[in-house]
Amino acid sequence: MDRSEAVGIPGYQDLPIIEKTGAHHAWGVFGEQDELGTLNFITPQVVAAATREVTAGEVVNLSLPLDQPDPPLALGRKPMKHGMRVERWGRDDWLENFYLQASSQWDGPRHIRYREFGYYGGRDEAAVEAGALGIDRAARRGIIARGVLVDAAAFLAERGTPIDATTRFPIDHGLIEEILAWERAALREGDVLLLRTGWLAWYFGLDRAGRERLAGSLHNQPDGLDCPGLEAGPGTAAWLWDHRVAAAAADNPALEVLKVDPAVGFLHRLLIPLLGMPIGEFWDLEALSEACGRQGRYSFLLTSAPLLIPGGVGSPANAYAVL
């Protein structure tokens, strides 16, 4: 019996399936009207326990500046502009081209649908247009939980096999378990998993011309990026669900490995619409890696405040780790 079954939540293999595809889903597991998905794993008891992770009082920012990456790494997005008005009484400012999923961010349940079967809970376009599944649901409760850094970049570098940020390197749950053992860390129900691949550190090591070439290649071939990330198959989805992970984020452009392999599938589609799991991309985990290595522990209090935008598809992460 796995951990989920032990507390009355079915394990992944016992979740209902969509007959046409055989994909497992969590629709109805938390109630027919549920819009929070795996964030339901963050109970009041989980929040209270997470606060006890704070021992040193060290605060680490996990978000990039809102204008990074620059140029934007997505087809059709324009660089953000910060406007400012100066008057005798003071200043006022605003943002233009503010794409909510362009920098360190959460993909919410409106972001991806599961083919013709709909969004999380089986909702159709009409239900979403009527207001269902907005990022405001997560924003009203906040994402306050225990975070665990899975520092794949540090682990593999120490082993003498550093990750090449320009290659398609899938990180499966077996490797994650090796890393957790190396860190002397363990997941608990309701945790938020943060995966450091080292991709952002590589990206910011490029000069301006290199970043422009990368963005230009993506604009010409949107699926043309190779980078490390979570293995995309159902084994990863099952492992995350059975460990009752509330959300997962990484320092790469998609959480999952890229390019997407059609033979394996798209992890976004297994996690967001089928399980209701928020996923984070472009999280800045470099300072966190340094802090965790220095303190010799890889768990911490994680706070994240998605923007309270009614009907929002995603949001900047606005995230901190407190050790």
Task: Quote the pLDDT of residue 3.
Answer: 42
What residue has token string 């990206």? 203
User: What pLDDT is attached to residue 220?
Assistant: 56
Q: What angle do CA 201, 205, 208 make, to 5 degrees?
A: 130
Place of tokens 């009752």: 244
Q: How many helices (H) and strands (E) does the chain have?
A: 11, 15
The token pair that represents 6 in the structure block: 């032990």
pLDDT, tens only, 123-167: 999 999 999 999 999 999 999 999 999 999 999 999 999 999 999
Gap between the Cα atoms of 194 and 256, Å rounded:
12
CA 114 to chain centre: 18
For residue 73, pLDDT beyond 60: yes
pTM over 0.85, yes/no: yes
pLDDT digits (tens, 9 = 90+) for 260-293: 999 999 999 999 999 999 999 999 999 999 999 9
Q: For 230-255, what is each residue's pLDDT tens digit?
A: 999 999 999 999 999 999 999 999 99
Phi and psi torsions of 235, nearest 5°: -60, -35
Task: From residue 63, give the alpha-carbon distance in Å to each of 25, 104, 221.
Answer: 31, 5, 27
**Which amino acid appears at position 254 of this protein?**
A
The interaxial angle of helices 267-275 and 234-242, nearest 10 deg, is 40
> Rounded to an integer, what distance in angstroms lies between the CA atom of residue 101 and that of residue 24?
27
Q: What is the mean pLDDT of the chain?
A: 94
Q: Is 248 left (phi over 0), alpha (psi -120 to 50) or beta?
A: beta
Give the chain's domains with CATH numbers: 3-322 (3.50.30.50)
What band does 223 get if pLDDT is binned at 50, 70 and 90? low
What pLDDT score was predicted for residue 221?
Answer: 58
Query: Which pLDDT does position 4 carry in this prediction?
Result: 41
Paired with 304 in beta bridges are 143, 319
